[in-house]
Amino acid sequence: MIDAAGEIRPDEQFDAEKLRVWLGAQRPELGGPFEVQQFRGGHANLTYLLRYADRELVLRRPPLGPVAPKSHDMAREYRALAALAPVYEPSPRPVLLCEDASVIGAVFFLMERRHGVVVRSSWPEELGDDAALRRRMSESLVDALADLHLVDVKRPDLARLGRPEGFVQRQVSGWYDRWLRAKTREIPAMDDLCSFLADRIPEPVGVSVLHNDWKLDNAMFDAGDPGKLVAVFDWDMTTLGDPLVDLGTLLSYWGEAGEGPRGTGGNVTGLPGMLTRDEIAGRYAKRTGFDVSAAPFYETFGLFKTAVVIEQIYVRYVRGQTKDERFAAMGPTVPVLAEVAQQVAAKLG
């Protein structure tokens, strides 16, 4: 779908006048009136469009209610975008960070708006049934990931983004801890997966900038040439670490033909023309030169993380911390993902 903004959900509104005054005090050129709309895709961070007479800016803030420690970190996302701006074209350019939560009720930042097509749970009708286009789009998504992982992390502004030593070990234990805090019922497969992953952590193939949530619906494609990727969003978990973490995340989201969805949406990646998971890994390996033989481990971890994220969203609905009805049906997805993760893990023996 063309990435369009619309009406703000009632419980996700904020005081636009207070924001206007604060922006004007920080940047006089942003002091004029603006219209606020909301981008209603996605299930976590909240994203709004500020439409001025002469420009459009995007505002990003965390979701409502309590959030997991170190997640939905808007200051991290702003700094990551600032560091990537000189070296990585698909990252939107940041404009202004506000760490004063009293302005709109949370830390937020502004970034440039980019225009294009975002493919979410179904194939956009306006693109037609075009297998060749789907192949180009999936290839450009893989190439953009490979290019991110080839960025020079020795640059001082990038080197400050994280601690790569022991990154995967910390991730496995950290995500299991998140599961324990968020779970609404016992799912033994989740406990088994954590033990399995902790016992089989591979040696890293290198150190790269990690996006940490690389998937199709975090990418935007040129409306005039949809095979061309023009932006990647959701950089709030950016860090440094083993690049195969990102590859595994992409593979974990990527359902193939004949499979059910690997998450809460449809299986658009299983349509004719889309790369298979093996083709993704092969193309990525060729572009980066990395050994991807451990990809099943990272795919398993990616599925485990997605199950935890969905449970974190679902528990907010269960506890009444959000009224978004989209979250009500998420609970049954978690055990399904855990089962798929166990099937992928079986490839590792």
Partnered with residue 325 across adjacent β-strands are none
Rounded Cα–Cα distance for residues 244 and 292 (Å):
7
Q: Are 33 and 23 in contact (CB under 8 A)?
A: no
Q: Is 215 helix (H, G, I), strand (E, B) or coil?
A: coil
- Is 31 or 340 the better-scoring residue by pLDDT? 340
Which tokens belong to 172?
């496995």
Lowest mean pLDDT across 150-159, 165-174, 257-266: 257-266
> CA 149 → CA 136, 155, 189, distances in Å?
20, 14, 32
pLDDT over threshold 70, residue 216: yes
CA-wise closest residue to 90 among 116, 125, 57 = 116
pLDDT at 47: 95
pLDDT at 70: 59
Indicate the pLDDT class of residue 116, thresholds 50, 70 and 90. Answer: very high
Average pLDDT for 222-233: 97
Beta strands in 141-270 (DSSP E): 208-210, 219-221, 229-232, 239-241
Q: How far apart are the first and last CA of the chain?
A: 41
Indicate the pLDDT class of residue 328, thresholds 50, 70 and 90. Answer: confident
Q: Which long-range contacts (CB under 8 A, 24 or more apart) does 131-135 make?
A: 131/271, 131/272, 131/273, 132/273, 133/226, 133/227, 133/273, 134/271, 134/272, 134/273, 134/274, 135/273, 135/274, 135/275
In CATH, what number does 131-348 get? 3.90.1200.10
Domain-wise residue ranges, the chain:
10-112, 131-348
Indicate the pLDDT class of residue 311, thresholds 50, 70 and 90. Answer: very high
What one-character-per-residue DSSP string does 116-142 give? -B---SS--GGG-S-HHHHHHHHHHHH
pLDDT over threshold 90, residue 167: yes
Task: Output the average pLDDT for the chain.
Answer: 93
344 residue type, one letter: V
Q: Is 96 helix (H, G, I), strand (E, B) or coil?
A: strand
Say which CATH topology domain 10-112 has.
Answer: Phosphorylase Kinase; domain 1 (3.30.200)
Q: Name the packing angle between helices 295-318 and 244-253 (round to 10°).
A: 60
pLDDT over threshold 60, residue 69: no
Lowest mean pLDDT across 58-72, 231-245, 296-310: 58-72
